[in-house]
Amino acid sequence: MKCSEFLKELTDYLDDRIDAPTKAELEEHLQWCHNCYVVCNTTKMTIEIYRDSHLYELPDDLRTRLRSAIVSKCKGPKDSASSEQPPDSATDKR
């Protein structure tokens, strides 16, 4: 089985919607293909988180705070409130 075939069957495998021989082939692929093993694990975890988030609805307040925390983290390391000026304006003054 090739990686592309594995990935094609992966969602069905995680949903347990495949027949036994195909399942055995997928599991055999996981034995030697680390790449697909990682993809399989990551997908499985994502599905579990997704299912959990349906069971426990996040309160809107927490969701907003989580999002802003993620956004501020993505903006980079300079998170101090004192450095409000962009670095470009500093070069203008010289």
Strands (E), the chain: none
Q: Name the minimum Å distance from CB 34 to Zn ion.
A: 8
Q: Name the minimum Å distance from CB 31 to Zn ion.
A: 10
What is the rounded CA–CA span in Å between residue 26 and residue 46? 19
What is the rounded CA–CA span in Å between residue 53 and residue 40? 20
Nearer to Zn ion, 35 or 46 (CB): 35
The binding site for Zn ion (CB under 5 A) comprises 3, 6, 33, 36
Nearer to Zn ion, 28 or 48 (CB): 28
Q: Name the minimum Å distance from CB 46 to Zn ion.
A: 18
Q: Name the minimum Å distance from CB 78 to Zn ion.
A: 40
Structure tokens at 19: 């027949």
Q: For the chain, what is the radius of gyration of the CA atoms?
A: 22
Nearer to Zn ion, 10 or 45 (CB): 10
What is the rounded CA–CA span in Å between residue 62 and residue 73? 16
Nearer to Zn ion, 3 or 66 (CB): 3
